[in-house]
């Protein structure tokens, strides 16, 4: 008897003729995720995948699979010969019935030529269990669910369905540039977009020496959390110091935040062009702060025609925090290091900026030259499993 991991697809099922592309991508992503297990074998079919493993610790493999997007659920299954008597005998052998009180048999017959229909199999197996053990049937509240999946030549028997990460395989939906601050919202925004199959690159703005190496490390630490879902994370670190100083010197203070954010979007827009990335993603949430009122968003958004995906737009802060805790970014996000948005925070940022006045303010300095500079000198850091420790320990006593 062989053990195999049975993987059920998520929303891929609705994807018609694109299904093969989705399945191939999922297979590739699973292989990457499990690259430290070179002897694994994946057999992918229209409706599910089977993952064959050698003498590895199966629990670790199952743990890894939990974070792969595009999987609805998975099970550790016994693969056996599908002769009816064999199925019945194996079930009686495999299960330690002393652990349970109630059961239900759930048969699915993928092989429509099989001589017995599902209901007959359910009844026959149940009959045998009732005869040989003290268990009772309870179809609503059972503590042992015996799933039998009949396929041509084989049957798969499993007991638990483990919930998968859902969503689409990362990479299937194109690329997004995630504006990643050290805050709570943007790491969640990145996670939610990856879950929809978007491959992300991160863009971080730093303003040294006003923002510290510790603040940057915090961002890299947050980005590294994405290694649970992808095999590498790219972070572009753009130095915004000179631009910020110019904004502060030249712009009406109530408009400095609006204009700073327009500059950020301009840089993000250009980086998308340079890196062949379709959309910008950020952690904005409607009305959370002055720059995120709908009126501010209109004026800030005006500098780019790239779609801006805001996965947190309609979530309450508490909902975002809940999600951040789930993906283990929260405790890092609340470390108290400064962000370039907070260092020169004006006392009275406008919640209802007017485009005309923004444009007048922007004419007061040569921001194009500064944008060019930002894009000539940015630094790109690629984090993967091999270098993550080295990258996060630039300063040993950071966290
Ligand atoms: P977060 O929103 O991530 O919790 P925050 O609340 O400090 O951080 P906001 O002022 O709400 O940030 O900024 C809104 C969004 O702008 C962020 O979610 C992020 O996408 C982007 N952003 C802010 N600061 C930066 C930065 N230093 N680098 C890159 N993106 C940033
Ligand atoms: Mg925020």
The pLDDT-based confidence of 398 (bands split at 50, 70, 90) is very low
The pLDDT assigned to 316 comes to: 95
pLDDT digits (tens, 9 = 90+) for 188-233: 999 999 999 999 999 999 999 999 999 999 999 999 999 999 999 9
Please give the C-alpha separations between residue 291 and each of 241, 280, 297, 353, 385, in angstroms, as whole numbers: 20, 17, 7, 9, 36
For 292-343, write each residue's pLDDT tens digit: 899 999 999 999 999 999 999 999 999 999 999 999 999 999 998 888 777 7
Check pocket membership of 180 for ligand 1, CB cut-off 6 A: yes
pLDDT digits (tens, 9 = 90+) for 132-163: 999 999 999 999 999 999 999 999 999 999 99
Structural fold of domain 175-392: Rossmann fold (3.40.50)
Q: Among positive and negative, which fits the CA dihedral 97, 101, 105, 106?
A: negative
The CA-atom distances, in angstroms, between 350 and each of 37, 194, 361 are 54, 33, 14
Q: Whose CA is nearest to atom 21 of ligand 1?
A: 179
CATH 3.30.2130.30 domain extents, the chain: 2-163
Model confidence, pTM: 0.91
Cα distances (angstroms) measured from residue 78 to each of 1, 75, 182, 234: 7, 10, 45, 40
Q: For strands 71-81 and 2-9, give the pairing.
A: antiparallel
206 contacts: CB under 8 Å, gap ≥ 6: 215, 216, 219, 237, 238, 239, 240, 340
DSSP symbol at 288: S
Mean pLDDT (the chain) is 93
Query: What tokens appear for 98 in the block?
Result: 């002393």
3-state secondary structure (DSSP) of residue 34: coil
| Separation of CA 183 and ligand 2 centre (Å) | 7
For 169-174, what is the mean pLDDT? Answer: 94
The finding on whether 179 has its CB within 6 A of some atom of ligand 1 is: yes
pLDDT in tens, 38-94: 889 999 998 899 999 987 789 999 999 999 999 999 999 999 999 999 999 999 999
Q: Is 340 in the pocket of ligand 1 (CB under 6 A)?
A: yes
Give the pLDDT mean for 159-170. Answer: 94
pLDDT score of 9 more than 80: yes
Angle between helices 253-275 and 355-362 (to 10 degrees): 80
Contacts of 12 (CB under 8 A, 6+ apart): 19, 22, 23, 26, 70, 168, 169
Structure confidence at residue 13 (pLDDT): 58
282 CB under 6 A from ligand 1?
yes
Query: What is the band of 15 on the pLDDT scale with cuts at 50, 70, 90?
Result: low
Give ranges for CATH 3.40.50.620 in the chain. 175-392
Topology of the domain covering 2-163: VC0802-like (3.30.2130)
Close Cβ partners of 112 (under 8 Å, ≥ 6 residues apart): none
Two structure tokens written together for 105? 């048999």
- pLDDT at residue 335 in the model: 92
Pocket test of ligand 1: the residue of 176, 178, 183 to mutate, having most ligand atoms within 8 Å of its CB, is 183
CA 198 to chain centre: 9
The first and second tokens of residue 379, run together, are: 């630094």
Nearest CA to ligand 1 atom 22: 181
């Amino acid at each position: 008897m062989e053990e195999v991991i049975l993987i059920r697809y998520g929303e891929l099922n609705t994807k018609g003729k694109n299904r093969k592309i989705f399945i191939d991508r999922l297979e590739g992503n699973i292989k990457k995720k499990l690259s430290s297990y070179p002897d694994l074998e994946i057999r992918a079919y229209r409706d599910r995948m089977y993952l064959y493993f050698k003498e590895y610790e199966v629990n670790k493999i199952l743990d890894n699979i939990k974070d792969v997007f595009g999987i609805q659920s998975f099970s550790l299954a016994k693969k056996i010969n599908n002769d009816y008597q064999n199925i019945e005998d194996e079930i009686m052998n495999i299960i330690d019935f002393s652990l349970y009180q109630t059961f239900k048999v759930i048969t699915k017959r993928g092989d429509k030529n099989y001589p017995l229909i599902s209901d007959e199999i359910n009844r026959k197996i149940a009959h045998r269990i009732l005869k040989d053990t003290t268990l009772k049937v309870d179809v609503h509240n059972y503590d042992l669910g015996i799933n039998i999946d009949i396929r041509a030549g084989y049957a798969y028997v499993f007991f638990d369905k483990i919930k998968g990460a859902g969503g689409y395989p990362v990479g299937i939906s194109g690329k997004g540039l995630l504006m990643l601050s050290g805050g709570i919202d943007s790491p969640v925004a990145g996670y939610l977009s990856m879950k929809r199959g978007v491959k992300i690159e991160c863009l971080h703005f730093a303003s040294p020496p006003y923002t510290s190496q510790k603040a940057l490390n915090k961002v890299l630490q947050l980005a590294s959390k994405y290694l649970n879902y992808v095999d590498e994370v790219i972070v572009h670190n753009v130095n915004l110091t000179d631009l910020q100083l110019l904004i502060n010197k030249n712009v009406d203070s109530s408009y400095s935040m609006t204009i700073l954010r327009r500059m950020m979007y301009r840089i993000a827009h250009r980086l998308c062009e340079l890196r062949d990335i379709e959309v910008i993603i950020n952690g904005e949430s409607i009305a959370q702060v002055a720059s995120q009122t709908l009126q501010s968003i209109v004026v800030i958004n005006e500098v780019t025609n790239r779609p801006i995906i805001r996965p947190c737009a309609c979530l309450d802060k508490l909902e975002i925090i809940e999600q951040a805790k789930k993906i283990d970014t929260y405790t890092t996000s609340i470390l108290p290091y400064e962000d370039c948005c907070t260092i020169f925070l004006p006392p009275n940022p406008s919640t209802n900026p007017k485009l005309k006045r923004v444009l007048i303010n922007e004419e007061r300095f040569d921001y194009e030259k500064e944008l060019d500079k930002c894009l000539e000198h940015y630094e790109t850091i690629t984090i993967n499993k091999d270098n993550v420790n080295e990258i996060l320990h630039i300063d040993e006593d950071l966290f």
